[in-house]
Structure 1
Amino acid sequence: MKQGIAATMGAWSARHRKTAVFGWLLFVVLASYLGGMHGAHKVTDAESMPGQVARAAKILDDAGVKSPAGETVLVQHPSLTADDPAFHAAVDQVAAAVRATGRTAGELGPYETGAVSADRHSALLRFTVDGADREAAVANVPAVMDAVARAQRQHPGFVVEEYGEASSGKWFGDQFKNDFARAEWTAVPLALGILLIAFGAVVAAVLPVVLAITAFVAAGGLVALCSGLLHTSDDASSVMLLVGLAVGVDYCLFYLRREREERAAGHDPATALRIAAATSGRAVLVSGVTVVVAMAGMFLTGIADFRAMSFATIVVVVTAVLGSLTVLPALLSMLGDRVAKGRVPFLHRLRPGAGDGSRFWNAVLTPVLRRPLAAAVLATGLLLAVAAPLLTMHTANLTFQQQLPRGNALVATAQRVEAAFPGSPAPATVVVKARDITSPEMTRALADLQSRALATGRMHGPTEVTVHAEQNVATVDIPLYGSGNDAVSAAALEALREEVVPATVGAVPGTEAPVTGSTAGSVDFNRQMSDAMLPVFGFVVAFAFLLMLLSFRSLSVAVTAVVLNLLSVGAAYGVLALVFQHGVGAALIGTAGVGAVESWVPLFLFVILFGLSMDYHVFVVSRIKEARDAGLPTRAAVAHGIRSTAGVVTSAAVIMVGVFAVFGTLSMQSMKQMGVGLAVAVLIDATVIRAVLLPAVMTLLDEKNWYLPRWLHRLPRVGAEPAPAGLPAAPRPEPAPAGAHR
């Protein structure tokens, strides 16, 4: 009988061990080297945001107009006012110190622009940081920040602090690098430590980690090579590490544990490897395809950052699957029983033959199988209760202040600036593209735009107009009232877009005037995410259902997989809303409730979790179906499948939860939300779902688990594997618990 893909790849790898191992190493080195030589092309501003914000960025890019990185220096005194000579002298000295760096341009003092607070105790010095792009400005800003810090030391009675796009960009850039390095150096040893406990042997523990790391390195090179066609991002690299390490270790763990089980059951090395390839190898293949399909749903968002994250994740998952199905069988064939070498005293021994599972999982499973209906009702009720807070979930593009940890110096400065000058740190910008930007009609329209904006009472001065005559482009900065991310700012933006702009510059024939800025970016991004939610959800659910249907040829299994995954995702959403929006338990993870969940996190979590949850579902259900195909009745097969996979699912889940939890300790709020959401969902999935709800539901369905309507019998047998030679006979039926339903 013709072998399936996974079995064929495993058999080839075992026969050509050196070719497989050295071929993998060559692939990793070449991919990494060529990717490094090519370099990574990052997502541009015009690509990264939707709506009017994207259009504004495109106009400026096409015109060759670079938006300078705006900075401000707050000069504040508790008793002196801006009219006092000493205050005036301090402002002048700060301005001179900033100019002396040679890294700034367009200095605008508070006395020229009127940027003095209503109580006269605060003044803002505005300027831009030199640089052809945002990265160059960030590189130049340290010299300016040092000059401002010296000015603060020279004026101890004043508050002299800097805040702006370049200084905040520098903080984010530095913090991202530090966090990413910390995640790498924490997640890898953590995974290794968990595997040491699970296997009790150094060689067996190191193999999955090494393969996961090499898969991540190779995928990073491939993503860089392809970035000329599909731009990548820093977020994509972070997600690639997160998912790559988790699935890479899990896939190897599934494969390795099955091979060890078969050796412990008495099979020779070749037969054990062949059985592992045909069973766990197939589960890895189906799981990997499911993750890839789920991640492909992110392309439907129409947002470049999501496309970058999706592509990077797909590449690392495909690479991890390839490594698990090729180089891992070769290494296991080479090592044989030496894979259990390096046993660590006092740690859990590698006992893969313990098919009855641990005492703990036996204690959990026995009452579930005895009272499946009660277990299903209780587990479902618990999950729905945990998911309930999602009904109150509010999503938003978190502001700079919300993203940063409490006590951050930049946040404190931003709050002081906002208190003295509401809306000033992040004004809306009207980008005007006209046939003749210097015509009298357009000049009047630009003036009218400013006056009408102020007349609404939702915006305030000072406004600023910059005309680029050669490009027929102008930008108009108009501060909005509100925090920049609240209903007040959103209403002001709507008034500017829907009323003020159409009645002024928009009324001039041949003129285009999109509105951009941080508030506009948040509004446009949220709208795009809302519009994309239904198509993405529908795509992922439909294709996951189809893959399960084709893989197991059972309508019941496919429906159960989708419903259980939706329950775990809903529970994760509930925890996100409860912790990060309402602040319940937030202090336990070093943060506080910020009143909202980052707008991209729910959709991202849905896609990731729907893919990753299939790891356990495919692995467990494959083992159940294998036992049933070998002759056990469904109820006994469910008990055998859950017990025989309990140890490996526990180990895999602990690794995933540990890796994801590391991201929950990072500085930025969005990374915390992503890490905690993933960790909670995987924990729920591996415990309540797989250990309670799945066996309860499958026990209740009994033989209906394998129901396939007659009209679907023509479906292709995707991924179907024949029983390999040496596959053990049907496991001995386990005694039904007393009182079990018949």
Structure 2
Amino acid sequence: MATFLYNVGRMAFRRRWLVTFLWVGVLAAVGFAAAKAPAAPDDGFAMPGLESQKAFDLMDERFPDSGAEGASARLVFVAPDGEKVTATENKAAIEELVGEAGEGSQVVRAVDPFQAKAVSEDASIAYSTVTFEVKAADLTDASKEHLQKAVDQARDTGLTVEVGGDALATQPAAGGSAEAMGLLVAAVVLVITFGSMAAAGLPLLTAIIGVGISMTGIIALGSTFGLSLTTGTLASMLGLACGIDYALFVVSRYREERAKGRDPREAAGLAVGTAGSAVVFAGLTVVIALAGLSVVGIPMLTKMGLSAAGAVVIAVLICLTLVPALLGFWPKAVLARRDRKAAKRGGEITTSGRSQTADNMGSRWASLVVRRPVLVLLLGVIGLGALAIPATGLQLGMPGDEAKPTTTTERRAYDALAEGFGPGFNGPLTVVVDTKNSDDPEAAVATISEEIAATDGIVSVSPAQFNQARDAAILSATPSTAPTDAETIDLVKAIRSDRPAVEQQVGATYEITGSTAANIDFAQKFQSALVPYLIVVVGLAIVLLMVVFRSLLVPLKAALGYLLSVLAALGAVVLVFQHGYGAELLGVEQTGPIMSMMPIFLVGIVFGLAMDYEVFLVSRIREAYVHGERPAQAIVSGFRSSSRVVVAAALIMIAVFSGFIGSAESMIKMIGFGLAVAVLFDAFVVRMAVVPAVLALLGDRAWRLPRRLDRLLPDIDIEGEALTRTTAHTPSHQYENEPAYRG
């Protein structure tokens, strides 16, 4: 593989105009397709095989004209202090608003709260539900403006009017500012690392091109494969971070090869053949981990995983082709200032080569770890272990309007309804009864209603609504606790556990659904898939690293370190988002369950990133060991060569992920925080401290592999040792077509 990539790098350097035009052409073509593509669909949380999803499907089948699939707006009216909504003026304003809302072009119905008895006991709060015939994504601007105008007119009367539901839902702010902040920090880190504006700008430029192709591709294919901008958020996040990091490794190796006296074209080929080989492997681990999200069985998660995997593939391809092509245009500009001056004078470029033998921060840190491996190991393991403890109390769920900022009308509507009608009002349980095989449907439904109403934790059960064929009915049961409370989860389990006896008694079947039950099912599905997925990912890590490092203990050490960093990151997420420690600093206004898909995302993505750092760092240690250095000295040499680049890569990752903490969407905020702290723990504690400490303690045993395994595993030469040996005695000469340095 190293030889093949070496030839790819040389070819891209030589055919730089062709390679560059091809990538620009791809970007233009995909952008044109995205501009002409239909609008992206509205995201849905379909959950095949779950009870709540089966109930939704039954409702669609038996109640085709119910408008259940259409958008809705819940208008919440709060009377001024000391007044009631039933007062003459307030009642008139509410009825006028409801009447005006019902005249919208896409409105199916608007319910009068006084006729529907949707008024709180103290008459301070009332609500009306406006149902539309189309989904929220298909509502016209005219329909939204009509409803908003009616709401504004009611507010002018002195009433407080808040709007819940999805019809006028506040859309989260675009992620552009998050990416911009991440890019700014990345640029600063790159300039400090390389000491060259060109070297800093090249990884940023190629990463932006890669993300541009990925995101426009998602938009272009959105209507075909059901991809939305939310689906592409993870692709944007990982495409940007991986694109910068991968280009960083290749450019850094190019500078090393130039410092050894290689001509530009040869240095580009060697950089792609060596660092590029590690990039291919690192990218492969990320792709496998993301594609593996499809085993969970959640369509939306599968789309997000595959979209992000595609973005990483594009980042790898750009790194292997466009990066050496751009190096061909400016072969000297990416060098450090001293090297550029040496090249101008016609001297050899060797000043940067001093870092290969002289001590630096990385080698000094590694020397410290090698001298005190037990102390460093204990501190790292105990520290991360302590942070991982809160993960044992992990509660999964799907936060709704209660997790939104209080600046949104949806959150204020949620709080008002909870105050006026009880905390469980915002998350009613929908009971779908199938009476097709019942001799007396009405009696069967009545019995089921009575049994559910008698369950501890149920406040009320609405009258049954039958379909036209009288073979199905819908009930609404209101819990006494909030949708995300643990008591509500126990309540749903209790109703379902009592169901077999009731069904046998009445001869009808029923399912529990609604947003609350669906979120509970969603969380349980993720929780049950987490451990198997973790086992698969860790097992994969061990196998892949055995192939790379020809060792048994190094992969085991890497997998255990990865588990430690993931659990510590998950514990940090629980501390902030579930228990509220430091939540205000991150703009988290409401704590509660952790987003159901968050642990799966964390496990999959951090696996790929952890293997990135493992490969780039440990491969240089193994390279030094193979060339005859003693184990302890090989650790120091490996850190001298790679620690600075790995630290820069980690800081860039942290900056990119941290930028998403500012998102108004709770899922994106949580994912950004989780990934940022996971990279922090894995790169700076596990890879920079625990890994060298363990290698120092293992000594020569770290690099041994049983003979039987050695014969079975393929030798892919990830470090490009054969390539390095082949080119070790290649004479240095100036590339004949190298353009002059333009500053």
In the superposition, the TM-score normalised over structure 1's length comes to 0.88
Hey, what's the Cα distance between the residues in 1 that align with 2:6 and 2:650? Answer: 25
What is the CA distance between 1:288 and its match in structure 2? 0.7
Aligned residue for 2:316? Answer: 321
Greater mean alpha carbon deviation, residues 312-321 or residues 589-598? 589-598
Q: Contact (CA 8 Å) 1:298, 1:607: kept in 2 or not?
A: yes
Paired letter, 1:182: S
What is the CA distance between 1:39 and its match in structure 2? 4.7
Aligned residue for 1:105? Answer: 108
Paired letter, 1:179: A
Hey, what's the Cα distance between the residues in 1 that align with 2:211 and 2:590? Answer: 33
Aligned residue for 1:415? Answer: 415
1:151 aligns with 2:154: yes
Greater mean alpha carbon deviation, residues 587-596 or residues 710-719? 587-596
Equivalences for residues 730-741 of structure 1 within 5 A: none
Paired letter, 1:571: A
Look up the SS of the partner of 2:389 in the other structure.
Answer: helix
Aligned residue for 1:733? Answer: none
Look up the SS of the partner of 2:12 in the other structure.
Answer: helix
Specify whether residues 342 and 708 from structure 1 end up closer, same or farther in structure 2 by C-alpha distance, changes over 3 A only: closer
Paired letter, 2:116: T
What is the CA distance between 1:341 and its match in structure 2? 9.1
Equivalences for residues 79-158 of structure 1 within 5 A: 79-81=82-84, 84-128=87-131, 130-137=132-139, 140-154=143-157, 156=158, 158=159
Equivalences for residues 553-702 of structure 1 within 5 A: 553-592=550-589, 594-702=591-699
Q: Contact (CA 8 Å) 1:569, 1:606: kept in 2 or not?
A: yes
- Structure 2: unaligned runs, 5 residues or longer: 341-350, 731-743
Look up the SS of the partner of 2:629 in the other structure.
Answer: coil
Look up the SS of the partner of 1:684 in the other structure.
Answer: helix
Q: Contact (CA 8 Å) 1:56, 1:431: kept in 2 or not?
A: yes
Query: Which residue, out of 695, 704, 714, partners 1:716?
Result: 714
Output one character per residue of 1:688-711: Cα deviation in whole Å (capped at 9) or x when no partner. 222222111112212112110011
Greater mean alpha carbon deviation, residues 101-110 or residues 676-685? 101-110
What is the CA distance between 1:519 and its match in structure 2? 0.8
Aligned residue for 1:736? Answer: none
Q: Contact (CA 8 Å) 1:616, 1:649: kept in 2 or not?
A: yes
Equivalences for residues 257-268 of structure 1 within 5 A: 257-268=252-263
Q: Contact (CA 8 Å) 1:258, 1:352: kept in 2 or not?
A: no
Hey, what's the Cα distance between the residues in 2 that align with 1:632 and 1:616? Answer: 22
Hey, what's the Cα distance between the residues in 2 that align with 1:685 and 1:709? Answer: 28
Aligned residue for 2:348? Answer: none
Hey, what's the Cα distance between the residues in 1 that align with 2:707 and 2:379? Answer: 34
Hey, what's the Cα distance between the residues in 2 that align with 1:680 and 1:8? Answer: 38
Q: Contact (CA 8 Å) 1:118, 1:420: kept in 2 or not?
A: yes
Specify whether residues 506 and 638 from structure 1 end up closer, same or farther in structure 2 by C-alpha distance, changes over 3 A only: farther
Hey, what's the Cα distance between the residues in 1 that align with 2:504 and 2:213? Answer: 51
Q: Contact (CA 8 Å) 2:453, 2:461: kept in 1 or not?
A: no
Look up the SS of the partner of 2:331 in the other structure.
Answer: helix
Specify whether residues 41 and 83 from structure 1 end up closer, same or farther in structure 2 by C-alpha distance, changes over 3 A only: closer
Output one character per residue of 1:35-91: Cα deviation in whole Å (capped at 9) or x when no partner. 554557647647357612222333445565541333332333343446544443343
Aligned residue for 2:356? Answer: 355
Hey, what's the Cα distance between the residues in 2 that align with 1:574 and 1:46? Answer: 26
Paired letter, 1:146: K
Greater mean alpha carbon deviation, residues 477-486 or residues 69-78? 69-78
Specify whether residues 539 and 443 from structure 1 end up closer, same or farther in structure 2 by C-alpha distance, changes over 3 A only: same
Paired letter, 1:392: G
Output one character per residue of 1:586-606: Cα deviation in whole Å (capped at 9) or x when no partner. 222232561432222112111
Hey, what's the Cα distance between the residues in 2 that align with 1:305 and 1:98? Answer: 33
Hey, what's the Cα distance between the residues in 1 that align with 2:223 and 2:60? Answer: 18
Aligned residue for 1:206? Answer: 201
Q: Contact (CA 8 Å) 1:138, 1:166: kept in 2 or not?
A: no
Look up the SS of the partner of 1:331 in the other structure.
Answer: helix
Greater mean alpha carbon deviation, residues 356-365 or residues 542-551? 356-365
Aligned residue for 1:531? Answer: 528
Q: Contact (CA 8 Å) 2:163, 2:409: kept in 1 or not?
A: no
What is the aligned-residue identity percentage?
A: 29
Q: Contact (CA 8 Å) 1:493, 1:519: kept in 2 or not?
A: no
Query: Which residue, out of 72, 75, 97, partners 2:74?
Result: 72
Output one character per residue of 1:353-384: Cα deviation in whole Å (capped at 9) or x when no partner. 52368754344333212222222222222221
Hey, what's the Cα distance between the residues in 2 that align with 1:548 and 1:229? Answer: 37
Q: Contact (CA 8 Å) 2:107, 2:133: kept in 1 or not?
A: no
Aligned residue for 1:14? Answer: 13
Look up the SS of the partner of 2:332 in the other structure.
Answer: helix
Look up the SS of the partner of 2:120 in the other structure.
Answer: coil
Hey, what's the Cα distance between the residues in 1 that align with 2:470 and 2:483? Answer: 30
Q: Contact (CA 8 Å) 1:390, 1:577: kept in 2 or not?
A: yes
What is the CA distance between 1:682 and its match in structure 2? 1.0
Specify whether residues 200 and 131 from structure 1 end up closer, same or farther in structure 2 by C-alpha distance, changes over 3 A only: farther
Aligned residue for 1:740? Answer: none
Hey, what's the Cα distance between the residues in 1 that align with 2:413 and 2:451? Answer: 31
What is the CA distance between 1:119 and its match in structure 2? 2.4
Specify whether residues 112 and 458 from structure 1 end up closer, same or farther in structure 2 by C-alpha distance, changes over 3 A only: farther
Q: Contact (CA 8 Å) 1:569, 1:681: kept in 2 or not?
A: yes
Look up the SS of the partner of 1:520 in the other structure.
Answer: helix
Aligned residue for 1:734? Answer: none
Hey, what's the Cα distance between the residues in 2 that align with 1:332 and 1:324? Answer: 11
Give aligned pairs, total: 709
Specify whether residues 579 and 189 from structure 1 end up closer, same or farther in structure 2 by C-alpha distance, changes over 3 A only: same
Output one character per residue of 1:544-570: Cα deviation in whole Å (capped at 9) or x when no partner. 111111112111221121111111112
Look up the SS of the partner of 2:391 in the other structure.
Answer: helix
What is the CA distance between 1:475 and its match in structure 2? 3.8
Look up the SS of the partner of 1:179 in the other structure.
Answer: coil
Look up the SS of the partner of 1:326 in the other structure.
Answer: helix
Look up the SS of the partner of 1:166 in the other structure.
Answer: coil
Equivalences for residues 342-491 of structure 1 within 5 A: 351=352, 354-355=355-356, 359-402=360-403, 404-422=404-422, 423-432=424-433, 435=436, 441-456=440-455, 458-461=457-460, 463=462, 465-469=464-468, 474-491=473-490
Aligned residue for 2:734? Answer: none
Specify whether residues 426 and 212 from structure 1 end up closer, same or farther in structure 2 by C-alpha distance, changes over 3 A only: same
Q: Contact (CA 8 Å) 1:53, 1:520: kept in 2 or not?
A: yes
In the superposition, the TM-score normalised over structure 2's length comes to 0.88
Hey, what's the Cα distance between the residues in 2 that align with 1:214 and 1:254? Answer: 18
Aligned residue for 2:739? Answer: none
Look up the SS of the partner of 1:476 in the other structure.
Answer: strand
Provide the aligned C-alpha RMSD in A: 3.1
Look up the SS of the partner of 1:333 in the other structure.
Answer: helix
What is the CA distance between 1:632 and its match in structure 2? 2.2
Specify whether residues 472 and 337 from structure 1 end up closer, same or farther in structure 2 by C-alpha distance, changes over 3 A only: farther
Greater mean alpha carbon deviation, residues 40-49 or residues 116-125? 40-49
Aligned residue for 2:233? Answer: 238
Output one character per residue of 1:310-366: Cα deviation in whole Å (capped at 9) or x when no partner. 1011111111111111221222133211334999x9xxxx95752368754344333
What is the CA distance between 1:612 and its match in structure 2? 0.8
Paired letter, 2:429: A
Hey, what's the Cα distance between the residues in 2 that align with 1:48 and 1:32? Answer: 32
Hey, what's the Cα distance between the residues in 2 that align with 1:244 and 1:262? Answer: 27
Paired letter, 1:248: G
Look up the SS of the partner of 2:72 in the other structure.
Answer: strand
Greater mean alpha carbon deviation, residues 646-655 or residues 631-640? 631-640
Q: Contact (CA 8 Å) 2:31, 2:217: kept in 1 or not?
A: yes
Aligned residue for 2:56? Answer: 57
Hey, what's the Cα distance between the residues in 2 that align with 1:88 and 1:38? Answer: 47
Aligned residue for 1:164? Answer: 165
Q: Contact (CA 8 Å) 1:53, 1:521: kept in 2 or not?
A: yes
Query: Which residue, out of 269, 293, 296, partners 2:291?
Result: 296
Query: Which residue, out of 167, 177, 182, partners 1:182?
Result: 177
